[in-house]
Structure 1
Amino acid sequence: MIALSRRQFLLTSTAGSLVALHPFAARAQAGQAHLRILATTDLHCHVQPYDYYADKPNDTMGLARTASLIAAVRAEAGNSITVDNGDYMQGNPMADFIAYSRGMKEGDLHPVIAGMNALGFDAGTLGNHEFNYGLPFLDLVNARADFPVLCANVAKTLGATPREDDLYAPPYAILDRELTDGSGAKLPIRIGLIGFVPPQILQWDRSHLDGKVQVRDIVQAAQAWVPQIREEGADIVIALCHSGIDAGPYAEGMENAALHLAGVEGIDALVTGHHHRQFPGTDFEGEGIDNTAGTLRGKPAVMPGFWGSHMGLIDLMLTHDSGTWTVAAHESTLRPIYERLEDRSIKPLAEDFAPAIEATAQTHADTLAYVRAEVGQTSAPLHSYFALVADDPSVQIVSLAQTWYVAQLLQGTEHADLPILSAAAPFKAGGRGGPEYYTDVAVGPVAIKNVADLYLYPNTLQAVRITGAQLKDWLERSAGIFNQITPGAADQPLINPAFPSYNFDVIDGVTYQIDLTQPSKYDSDGVLVDDTANRITNLLHNGQPVDPAAEFIVATNNYRAGGGGSFPGTGASTTILQAPDTNRDVIVRYIVDQGTISPAADANWSFAPAGGATVTFDTGPKATAYLAEVQERGLNVEPAGDGTDGFARFRITL
């Protein structure tokens, strides 16, 4: 690889003001230098502090806010680099506006790249969502980045060894810089950076990547490339790992491999992501994970949230001896851009970074015009406050649209006479998104921003052909979101927080109950853990018990049909339709076709009685406005006080 030398480190410039130095910088002597690694991850095109779904400013998001923290930290010490850890260009209506409406042509500057260029990033890596719009689009976006975008485990073709792979992107970069030591002397240093992405991209974006790229295991790729970075003279190596932290044993091809990557010799520090969580903190525990020291297997690491919610900061005290640098001490911290107060309000902790705002101002204005365009009307409110505990209108409208669309495409085919079901999940259901992270569309006009709010991801519609037995197991997998409860016991937590809401599929076109007193058949990753478990009861189609041998068509998306979430009945062998349209576009077409939609939930699923047991769950405080509605649909639910972190708590009697 050719070493990169783009600019010198930003040096402290106080201009008459006093700057509080980090202890590493304050006590550094001759031959000692303080290096700061400033990191973002999972920005998902959130540059401006604005929620395009709600169409209002939002102080909990935006690179423009994180950037002001980065600028302040750079002033605290003379030596720093800034890196991004992937999933930067997809994830909100601005991203979709660029990809689907305005488009990209050679020479265009994507707004998130404009924001990152304005801040002066030194390097980045690819995330799995970078592939959502296809490789040609990704190439156009990255062509205007003023920094290298790295990835060591995605190849156009695989060679006999990782070093012989024809890689899609540069696997690593070496930055030639100078560090100012404690005496004021400037000493050269070579900083190696290497990037990784989950191998599951081939599954999640098969339609874009099949036959075009191949992948390597993250750890195996690192074991091959890190020694070469060292051979080329890198003094330290920083891994940009768009992969989460899994405390379980290593398995080849694992999605969340950061902990095991930390064990690769030659890596000095790691930036992790993908999980949309925080490290150090309270989100991860297990052998080799030290939240107090901020280390994974003894190596300093950070996972700085998502959407710009946090800046990750790794401080290294480096010692220079006989021409080489070594890490003498380290510290890992997160700096948030906001604080949630006791009254549930948000207190911003960072101001806008003007260059990032200015660089994206026109696209921001264009996006607002795009998302405000009306496509139809709704006669019933669309909300997701109770989507995890009852049949829900925000999920119902997705299923109605998917069924409508697939029925048209299957006319005249060998599948035309089979019953069509639809699988859909609630995407905005609180969780790590916070107590405001719910869909809430009032009766009246429906705009593109509302459709984007209903369906967050740029999935394409697909359909699978499955048996009744596979249908039941699909629902068993989905029911893993619930904890097992004891009959008759009071106020038991209902939801397993480790289970993502996008894997809670509700299947429309059948009716069923979920028996919470039974153990889950599958764990949160979709692994079979109890073959005898039987949570799904009274599974009926047209009022009759579902025959295990009967066949059904299930409308879903490319992620699920391709095996995402490890649901029974999915995969290439069962996929019978790969539509050219996104699920979101299908919803828009359906609303336009209907003019006015009436997506009242039909209560096709419910909880089985459990001897009067009560369970609790947390949702957004605005759920109270819809309490009577869900009670009318048969859910025995009542307020139960305040939850944690701004949520409201409710109680269900079974």
Structure 2
Amino acid sequence: MKPSTDLLPLRGSSSILVGILLAAAGLGCSGPDSEGPGGSESGWVSPKLVLMGTTDVHGQLLPWDYEADGEAEHGLSRLLPIVDSIRSVNAGPTLLVDSGDLLQGNPLAAAFTPLGPDEEHPVITAMNLMGYDAAALGNHEFNFGIEHLDRSIAAADFPFLSANVVDAETGEAAYPEYVILERELEGRPLRIGVTAVLPPGVAVWDRDHVEGRLDFPDIVHALRGVVPRMRGEGADVVVVAAHNAFEGTSYDTVSTGLGAENRMADVARMVHGIDVVFLGHSHREVADSTLNGTLFLQAGPRAASLAVATLDLAFTETEGWRVEAARGELIRPDPGRSDERMEAALADAHARAVSQMTRVIATSPEAWSAAETRVRPTPLMELIHEVQREVTGADLSAAASFSLSAGLPRGNITVAHIARLYPYDNNLLRAVRITGAELKEYLEHSARYFNPCPEAQCDPLVNPAWPGFNFDMVSGVDYTLDPTRPIGERVTRLEREGRPVADTDEFTLALNNYRQGGGGAFPGVTQAEVVYEGNESVRELLIRAIEARGTLDPADFEATNWEIHPPELVDQALREGGGR
């Protein structure tokens, strides 16, 4: 397919990029008497560098929803026509980077995990086709082990970067810290330095894969070292592909000894010499935000949009190239266009993913819904708990409801339905030994999903800062949560087999390795004795157990072991949609 040079992919874009395209086509908006960006009244347009960025693609290469078995709005194949257009009509150099989380999170990627002996990962196939210049490692790149990561990225025609991933023994960089890319602008060389960072929390979230092998230094510390080195090697422009947000952390930095999860606001204040940062990790969008002279942008997750930074440059013999102005915007794909080259290149991979996800594994006489899973016990959650207890032999099971829109249909149940119910194919199963006191602390921590609600009067009840995937429910004990009580005192009843749980009681608790490793900063489990350690994903264990049953009836998984008090708060939580 010939790269597109029309403006169709840019429909709905702002005047900034449209102006670039028109100028490149000789159709600039400025008349002969208008003042150009360089302050001239002759219509002169300053040299421009256009930077493009994606992030959190999570294997969404084609506009296909493998769980719903139907077309999706987003996919890299929808962004490629936009990238082609920008490259074709821009008179100056362009650059395309990604800010990480590529290899996990979609059935197409899962179909190539693990990667076969002679296979190329479809994510790398797509990125090579798009002509990426560099990519950041994201935290999810480590979900399936270092060997899988290294084998997957070995076929890339571009470098995968990180300034804060080091060898645990030597302290040396485990991956390239940065790259200096050379372009030509108006007959002169232009050097663009690109580096990347990711959350140090990889040491917590993927401890099983990285402990003793890789360390993850603080983000600010890493960039303070790398940025001056890039400038010293002649970088005229410095770009950071940051798998990182402005601020916030989901783990305890004191007990882990790690730097905060997100530090890009600190970077803006404390690291000098960065021109543009392409953010990631938070699954939000940032179109055009400037902090302390640094432009920040963030594309939408799963290829929902392309982030574009336009830099006006000026050259002097003494200083070389410098950035005079920088603007950002987000461009959304045309829902009717998808690159045929990418579709053809990924046809076999797509067929494999579709075949895996549409496989029927059981039937059900009734439909199962996840809509109420965070307000009362449900057959869906009890199904997960039962499998976790059976596999581990544990007394108790802890699990979260990842999606309130998930469910199982009446009739045929496919692998896709289980993927929707349990989307994290990287979660492995663990079991630990805990005390009654630690169990109560665990439940109190989980109850932070609800805001303090004295006298049952609060708005909202569901805490928007507490993700639903950090609201664990426990099976095997009976308990009551009362959000009207102060935080830390909301577990008003905790019993096992009709007897109050004593602080000194001991239990074994099944949970996933993300939680046991410290994800969500739940107390009592990271240092607990591990009594079961499997190497299969929870999702795969669910699929196997369901397939062995053949028929699933929700009546066989009824549970009544926990409740929210007072009852009117249940209704309020349901009205609020149960949170995110």
Unaligned runs of 5+ in 1: 1-9, 160-164, 180-184, 281-292, 338-347, 408-418, 430-437, 521-532, 618-636, 644-648
Partner of 1:621: none
Query: Aligned-pair distance for 1:332?
Result: 2.1
Query: 3-state SS of the aligned residue for 2:82?
Result: helix
Query: Aligned-pair distance for 1:12?
Result: 10
Partner of 1:77: 90
Partner of 1:357: 343
Cα distance in 1 for partners of 2:349, 2:233 equals 41
Partner of 1:595: 550
Partner of 1:204: 205
Partner of 2:242: 241
Residue 421 of structure 1, aligned match among 393, 396, 399: 396
Do structure 1's residue 177 and structure 2's residue 193 form an aligned pair? Answer: no
Do structure 1's residue 330 and structure 2's residue 326 form an aligned pair? Answer: yes
Do structure 1's residue 152 and structure 2's residue 172 form an aligned pair? Answer: no
Cα distance in 1 for partners of 2:153, 2:343 equals 20
The within-5 A match list for 1:400-415 is: 400-407=386-393
Measured on the aligned residues, the alpha-carbon RMSD in Å equals: 2.8
Do structure 1's residue 39 and structure 2's residue 7 form an aligned pair? Answer: no
The 1:549/1:594 distance shift into structure 2, 3 A limit, reads: same
Query: Aligned-pair distance for 1:511?
Result: 1.7
Cα distance in 2 for partners of 1:257, 1:350 equals 38
Unaligned runs of 5+ in 2: 11-16, 29-35, 39-43
| 8 Å Cα contact 2:374-2:578 kept in structure 1 | no
Residue 423 of structure 2, aligned match among 453, 456, 469: 456
| 8 Å Cα contact 2:227-2:273 kept in structure 1 | yes
Cα distance in 2 for partners of 1:602, 1:24 equals 66
Cα distance in 2 for partners of 1:589, 1:151 equals 37
**Which residue identity lines up with residue 516 of structure 2 in the other structure?**
A
Do structure 1's residue 605 and structure 2's residue 562 form an aligned pair? Answer: yes
Cα distance in 2 for partners of 1:318, 1:158 equals 42
Q: How many residues are paired up?
A: 543
Query: Aligned-pair distance for 1:375?
Result: 2.2
The 1:247/1:90 distance shift into structure 2, 3 A limit, reads: closer
Query: 3-state SS of the aligned residue for 2:265?
Result: helix
The 1:336/1:549 distance shift into structure 2, 3 A limit, reads: farther
Query: Aligned-pair distance for 1:234?
Result: 0.5
**Which residue identity lines up with residue 459 of structure 1 in the other structure?**
N
Do structure 1's residue 261 and structure 2's residue 267 form an aligned pair? Answer: yes
- Indicate the percent of aligned positions where both proteins have the same amino acid: 34
The 1:614/1:364 distance shift into structure 2, 3 A limit, reads: closer
TM-score, normalised relative to structure 2: 0.87
Partner of 1:435: none
Query: 3-state SS of the aligned residue for 1:314?
Result: strand
Partner of 2:31: none
Partner of 2:75: 62
Query: 3-state SS of the aligned residue for 1:492?
Result: coil
The 1:550/1:91 distance shift into structure 2, 3 A limit, reads: same
The 1:441/1:186 distance shift into structure 2, 3 A limit, reads: farther
Query: Aligned-pair distance for 1:425?
Result: 0.7
Partner of 2:496: 541
Cα distance in 2 for partners of 1:48, 1:375 equals 25
TM-score, normalised relative to structure 1: 0.78
Query: 3-state SS of the aligned residue for 2:113?
Result: helix
Query: Aligned-pair distance for 1:189?
Result: 0.4
Query: Aligned-pair distance for 1:381?
Result: 2.5
Cα distance in 1 for partners of 2:578, 2:57 equals 32
Do structure 1's residue 585 and structure 2's residue 560 form an aligned pair? Answer: no
Partner of 1:371: 357
Do structure 1's residue 21 and structure 2's residue 19 form an aligned pair? Answer: yes
Do structure 1's residue 97 and structure 2's residue 97 form an aligned pair? Answer: no
More helix by share: 2
**Which residue identity lines up with residue 69 of structure 1 in the other structure?**
I
Query: Aligned-pair distance for 1:262?
Result: 2.5
Cα distance in 2 for partners of 1:603, 1:186 equals 74
Query: Aligned-pair distance for 1:392?
Result: 3.1
**Which residue identity lines up with residue 263 of structure 2 in the other structure?**
A
Cα distance in 2 for partners of 1:189, 1:650 equals 51
The 1:336/1:386 distance shift into structure 2, 3 A limit, reads: farther
| 8 Å Cα contact 1:404-1:590 kept in structure 2 | no
Query: 3-state SS of the aligned residue for 2:301?
Result: coil
Cα distance in 1 for partners of 2:401, 2:541 equals 17
Residue 470 of structure 1, aligned match among 430, 438, 445: 438
Cα distance in 1 for partners of 2:285, 2:418 equals 29
Residue 294 of structure 2, aligned match among 296, 299, 316: 299
The within-5 A match list for 1:107-122 is: 108-122=119-133
**Which residue identity lines up with residue 481 of structure 1 in the other structure?**
Y
1:178-229 CA distances to partner (integer Å, 9 max, x unpaired)?
12xxxxx333200000011111112211221122222211111111111111
The 1:583/1:326 distance shift into structure 2, 3 A limit, reads: same
Partner of 1:566: 521
Query: Aligned-pair distance for 1:51?
Result: 1.3
1:434-459 CA distances to partner (integer Å, 9 max, x unpaired)?
xxxx2132122222222222211111
Partner of 1:272: 279
**Which residue identity lines up with residue 133 of structure 1 in the other structure?**
F
